Amino acid sequence: MSDADVLKLNAELALQLANYWHEIDANLGRDASDYYTEDAEFHGQFASYQGRAKIQQFYDWRVKQGPRLAVHCFTNFRAWFTGPDTAEATNYLFLYAANGVRVLKTHPPITISLATDRYRRSPEGRWLCTYRRFEHLFEGDTPITNPKLDDDQAK
């Protein structure tokens, strides 16, 4: 692959990721599954979701929990080809979030994570995520949302 191909890949995937996080922050993830393949894997610190439907089920659950403000900021985005129609990328994700409606008091990010994504280009030419994994490097005092954690705490 040429440098131009790699630059184009980085631009396409960074835009795809920016659009995804905008979907999550602005629309609470109601259409999050549009960014994943049917067999995608999503691995967080406390839970993993196998398949596009299960990933969407998490976001649907989150919407039902009530108002939450979130801002997902990523930096140091790097992508490379792993095949003609496959790629991998990493970035650092800063998550600012709290339950409630704006304007909320500010605080440090609730997590800073190393995110690793894998992508496959669809027949229509759109890159879709096949694998997403977060490795938390820093954590704040505000808990992340997670059905399993919340269900356990409710007992």
pLDDT tens-digit series, residues 74-123: 999 999 999 999 999 999 999 999 888 999 988 899 999 999 999 999 99
Quickly list DSSP for 50-102: ESHHHHHHHHHHHHHT--EEEEEEEEEEEEEEEETTEEEEEEEEEEEEEES-S
Quick one: pLDDT at residue 8?
A: 97
* Residue 134: pLDDT over 70: yes
The more confident residue out of 143 and 152 is: 143
Percent of the chain topping pLDDT 70: 95
CATH of domain 3-154: 3.10.450.50
* Residue 56: pLDDT over 70: yes
Quick one: pLDDT at residue 148?
A: 67
Quick one: pLDDT at residue 151?
A: 47
Task: Please give the mean pLDDT across all residues of the chain.
Answer: 92
Percent of the chain topping pLDDT 90: 82
* Residue 150: pLDDT over 70: no
